[in-house]
Amino acid sequence: MRWLQTAGLQLIPVLARALFAFTLLAFFWKSALTKLGDGITGLWTPSAGAYGQILPLQFEAVGYDPSAMSTLNWAIVMLGTYAEFILPACIVIGFMTRLAALGMVGFIIVMSLVDVTGHGVALGSLLDGNPSALIPDQRLFWIFPLMVIVFFGAGPLSIDRRIQLHRQKTKDEGSS
């Protein structure tokens, strides 16, 4: 039975990354794509919808005029957009995985706060018998595999593990 426990400890983070990939990767990438502007300049010029999604109250206050948004607002929107591409990709390939998973936990918390305060999504409550409630029940299910990754790392099938093995090999060669 000890081999099963050892195998399980190796498999858990891989399964957590796979669960994230199969259930949330497309969600975050599709969301990020809606925030990019048109053409190549869209990589640094967010769509009007990006401001509406990320900073809804500020965007409403300026009459939904993207040119009236501040440089700080632009930076927040662009960083949030890039985070939706980069953090999930890092998790799926297993690169800087713990940091990326922690970043995604923060991202989901901020996203949930914006949904409640800026978009009027009902907060709901835990233990209300409605497991499909968007906030907080569903978001806790999103966060769980990320916390598994934070605590256990990326697992054996990851770039992080390859880097770790390479560093150990280099260290062993250097000490001989």
42, burial (CB in 10 Å: exposed 0-12, middle 13-18, buried 19+) = middle
Q: What's this model's pTM, rounded to 2 decimal places?
A: 0.87
The C-alpha torsion from 72 through 43 and 121 to 110, rounded to 10°, is: -50
> How far apart (Å, rounded) are the C-alpha atoms in residues 43 and 81?
10
pLDDT per residue over 121-175, tens digit each? Answer: 877 777 677 766 777 888 889 999 999 999 999 999 999 999 999 999 988 887 7
pLDDT per residue over 57-88, tens digit each? Answer: 999 999 999 999 999 999 999 999 999 999 99
